[in-house]
Structure 1
Amino acid sequence: MGFFLFTQPLQAEAESKLEYDLDVSYNPSSFEKLKVTLPIPEELQGQKLKYVISLTDNFFGYKSSALLRMKSVDYTNTIGPTSEQNVIQMSSINNFFKSSSDINYQGFTIFIDYQNMADGTVKRVWYNIKFINGLVTAYYLDENGDELAPPFKSIGTIGEPYAVQEAPQIPGYSLIKIEGAEQQGIYTDPILTNQTQEIFYTYAAKPMPQVGKVSASFVDGNGMELAETENIEGEVGEPYQIEAKQLEGYQLKTINGKQSGLFSSEQQSVQFVYEKIIQPATIKGQVTVHFLDEAGNKLAEDVVMEGEIGKYYEVGVQPISNYRFKESKGNLTGLYSSKGSEVTLIYEKKLAPNDPDEDMDDPAKSNQSEEATKVGENKEEAISTIKSASEMEKAPATPVKFSSKKPTTVKPSLPATGDHSELPISLLGLWLVVAAGSLYLYKRQ
């Protein structure tokens, strides 16, 4: 049903205002029929309503209070008294404006008053109808015009600004030109301009990238391979970096070639040359031990003790057959040094055959022992002296050996020396004792 409306709106309560924003794809310059669905508020649905649409008196600019006038308006009302229906349709608006110069591309605003027939209350509902009538389309094509990506569409209202996204990166292609509309601009009316707003992005296929290779070898000074050769690849012109390997027992000496640079179309190589890490030898100190009699004659081969510099050493007395230790020259204990040290052990002949070594373990005690055959001032003195010497000679011999608190290198044990009879010396000693006794008795008389 179509007819002209020139009715006045119902008296609506001020607090009853409701508002809807609606987007409609429509270009008014086409003067085509407009079909738009106007929703009824949920709170009014299911009620028996009376309503008035007065476009001639209540037709405003989009979201404004400026009245717009039309030549005439036709509409079809599809709402009915049944509770199931909840929308009203404006099926057509003809002769929307008097001329093309009066066209409003943005849209319009209307209100409808709904009256509840049961209680007479009225609610006014505003509808802001925006025309979506501007379109800018961006195409992404190869040099043959074939589509490389889906087109991008920017939709808006004629007269408003638009902005199209930047040209996307397409793998394997590079952008070579942009044609058509600007990437940023104002939506225009394609009917009046007889021209669509389109942008064409043209791409060219990239040539297949050249691959460069770099090999890295790890060798010693003789060219012997110490680790597996590494090969790296990359696009020509791209940078590369090769790190030296950490190889146990070796240190990097030189690098032949470029450790970093750019891949090229030619084969490149880098050689890492290593040298063995030589551990410094432990510096040792020496202590040389000499074995001499009282006259300075050698009784045994020297013994050389070795040890790490700064470490402790201790020299023990070596027993020599038919000799007893008398004294030492040099430090029997101390620290190894780089200059070396010497210790001389001096021995004396035993007074009688089978005379045991006395106090061999303690050089200090040996140095304190004196000649047991010293003549006394009286007989008792002489007898006491002889007894003491005899008891000393009967003392058990204690083996004495070299020792060190830290491991040392000691040469083989000394050979036994002086294996011959000492009978003449013993008889001489006995004679001296008898003579001393006789002299003592003679003085008593």
Structure 2
Amino acid sequence: MGLFLFIQPLDVSAQSETEYDLKVNYNPASFEKFKVNLPLPEELKNQELEYEISLTASFFSYKSNAPLRMKSVDYSHTISPASEQNSIQMSAINNFFKSSSDINYQGFTIFIDYQNKADGTVTRVWYNIKFINGLVTAYYLDENGSELVPPFQAIGTIGEPYAVQAAPQIPGYSLVNIEGAEQGIYTDPILTNQTQEVIYTYTAESAPQKGQVIASFVDENGDKLAEPESIEGEVGQAYQIEAKQLEGYQLKTIHGEQKGLFSLEQQNVQFVYEKLVEPVAAKGQVTVHFLDEEGKKLTDDFVMQGELGVPYEVKVESITGYQFKENIGELAGTFSDTNSEVTLVYEKESIHRPDESGNTPREEPTQAEENKDAPYQPESAIKTNSQINVDPIALVSSSLENVARFKQALPATGDHSGWAASLLGLLAAAIGAFYLYKKQ
């Protein structure tokens, strides 16, 4: 290291130029020595370099072409291949601090011509060095001076404008006072002997009052169908509570306000449900009547019911003493919304019922019918009363007994035509026998 005064830069022309913007925390009023590390372009690293700095030609006001005269600079005129950066340093006196009214707080611009000793090429590098020395701190405190959130710092350069961030919203607190300037110019805390601060004071807000709404879900008897629900909110805020979907039930009515504003008093909303009733399928009806030929009722009506469109079939029932004759109305069909009627008409059964094969047995002929085709025989061939020797009283009695037995054997069907003729024949025979007896 060495001290060089008024040394001219290398008398060569630069083949390329590079520029860097650097910020360095430095306040010349501190009278501390200024030191800065200067980066090297990639193409200059790992090279042996040589350079010179001119106190009259290499320095300018920060980012301007106004020449800036320096009194002294400390630097090394060569850089080894192992170095990746250059560094310079200088004192504040005479370089940046000339008097209390003539202080360079802003910084400066410098160029350095680096010559590669291997090939002689020269690269000019510009360094814009900005001094950071202004500070404004914003504090956010409660009324007791306790910090509510971390402070905010605005940093810059003395003499330039600043602005702190807007006062933040802090939950549970309200801003009540601002002390200090939220916007202004950075000043020197060393010369003014004071720091720049902005103090935001907050007061705690009272806890908001809460309201509550409780919803219950019951059936028509007041029995609980689901667990109650509760919602809370600040008094005056809007609320809305919804009914639940409950399986097997439908909402019938609501007691209380389903939506409104939270209040200090507890509010209740009751949702009343009714049980869902399964819809009854529409049915059709067919009534079956059982009548004889004269329209008299033989047995109770039979009623069939079924869903509309479903087929039905009427079964012909057996009735003792009667046989089915005909039906009035269809014996088969489908149920409809119009009630149908079917009448089954029966007639009385004959004495001779069909056998198992369905054949009706031939009626046995009477004695008169058996003899009607026999040849005529003269009276001599007929026995006389003496020859017959029949007790007329016994004959009459026997005939009457036969009539009685015959009557008991007759079926109780109401059909008297067959056995009436037979009875008359027996009576005639008995009377004839009695007459012959009297004649003797």
Pair in the same fold by TM > 0.5: yes
The structural deviation recorded for 1:36 is 2.6
TM-score by length of 1: 0.71
Q: How far 1:301 moved relative to its partner?
A: 1.8
Residue among 68, 74, 77 paired with 1:76: 74
Change (3 A) 1:358 1:133: farther
Quote how far apart the aligned CAs of 1:423 are.
7.3
Is 1:91 the counterpart of 2:83? The answer is: no
The alignment partner of 2:317 has SS state of coil
8 A Cα contact 1:38 1:88, kept in partner: yes
Q: 1:420 aligns with which of 407, 412, 432?
A: 412
Secondary structure of 2:34's aligned partner: coil
1:38-77 map, 5 Å: 38-39=38-39, 44=44, 49-69=49-69, 73-77=71-75
- Aligned-pair CA distance for 1:117: 5.3
Q: Distance in 2 between matches of 1:83 and 1:15?
A: 20
1:27 and 2:30 aligned = no
Q: Is the 8 A contact 1:12 1:124 kept in 2?
A: no
* Alignment match, 1:146: 146
Residue pair 2:321, 2:413 contacting (<8 A) in 1 also: no
Matched, 1:200 2:192: no
Residue 278 of structure 1 is matched in structure 2 by 277
Deviation at 1:40, TM superposition (A): 5.0
2:425 is matched with which residue?
Answer: none
Q: Tell me what 2:316 maps to.
A: 317
What is the distance in 2 between the residues matched to 1:280 and 1:121?
Answer: 102
Report the Cα distance in structure 2 between the residues aligned to 1:300 and 1:45, rounded to whole angstroms.
126
Q: CA shift at 1:344, angstroms?
A: 1.1
Aligned length: 371
What is the distance in 1 between the residues matched to 2:66 and 2:278?
A: 99
Aligned equivalents of 1:31, 1:221: Cα separation in 2: 91
Query: Is the contact between residue 74 and residue 94 of structure 1 (CA under 8 Å) also seen in structure 2?
Result: no
Mapped to 1, the partners of 2:118 and 2:292 lie a distance apart of 148
Q: What amino acid is the match of 1:24? A: V
* Partner residue, 2:36: 36
In structure 1, distance between residues paired with 2:411 and 2:101: 148
Contact 2:52/2:77 (<8 A) preserved? no
- In the alignment, the residues of structure 1 paired with residue 308 and residue 198 of structure 2 have an alpha-carbon distance, to the nearest angstrom, of 89
Return the offset for 1:79: 6.4
CA RMSD of aligned residues (A): 3.6
Counterparts of residues 361-376 of structure 1 (less than 5 Å): none
CA radius of gyration, larger in:
2
Q: Report how far residue 173 of structure 1 moved.
A: 2.6
CA gap of 1:79–1:319, structure 2 versus 1, over 3 A, is same
Q: Report how far residue 251 of structure 1 moved.
A: 1.4
| C-alpha distance 333-3 of structure 1, shift in aligned 2 (>3 A) | closer
Deviates more, 1:255-264 or 1:96-105: 96-105
TM-score by length of 2: 0.72
Secondary structure of 2:87's counterpart equals: strand
Q: CA–CA distance in 1 between the matches of 2:253 and 2:334?
A: 42
Render the CA deviation track for 1:126-183: whole Å, top value 9, x for unaligned. Answer: 221111122221111111112222211111234444443333333433323322112x
- What is the match of residue 391 of structure 2? none
When structure 1 is superposed on structure 2, of 306-315 and 131-140 the one drifting more is: 306-315
Equivalent position SS for 2:73: coil
Taking a change above 3 Å as real, the CA distance of residues 302 and 137 of structure 1, as seen in their structure-2 partners, is: same
C-alpha separation in 2, matches of 1:429 and 1:333: 45
Amino acid at match of 1:126: W
**Cα distance, 1:81–1:420 mapped onto 2, change above 3 Å:** closer
Contact 2:79–2:86 (CA under 8 A) maintained in structure 1: no
State percent identity of aligned pairs. 64
Assess if the C-alpha contact under 8 Å between 2:7 and 2:55 holds in 1.
Answer: no
- Secondary structure of the residue that 2:15 maps to in structure 1? helix
Change (3 A) 1:357 1:169: farther
Counterpart for residue 341 of structure 1: 340
Q: 1:40 to 1:300 in 2, by over 3 A?
A: closer
Structure 1: gaps (5+ residues): 360-371, 374-417, 431-445
The 1:50–1:15 alpha-carbon spacing in structure 2 relative to 1, beyond 3 Å, is: closer
2:10 aligned residue: 10
Once the 2 structures are TM-superposed, how far is the Cα of residue 275 of structure 1 from its aligned partner? 2.0
Distance 1:147 1:288 in 2: 95
1:230 Cα deviation after fit: 2.2
Task: Kindly indicate whether the alpha-carbon contact (under 8 Å) linking 2:14 and 2:122 is maintained by their aligned counterparts in 1.
Answer: no
| Residues 55 and 110 in structure 1, CA contact (< 8 A), matched pair in contact too | no
Over 3 Å counting, the alpha-carbon distance change for 1:428 and 1:284 in structure 2 is farther
SS at match of 2:7: coil
1:257 corresponds to? 256
Q: Answer 1 or 2: which has greater strand percent.
A: 2
Counterparts in 2 of 1:356 and 1:137: CA distance versus 1, 3 Å: farther
Return the offset for 1:28: 4.3
SS in 2 for 1:208: coil
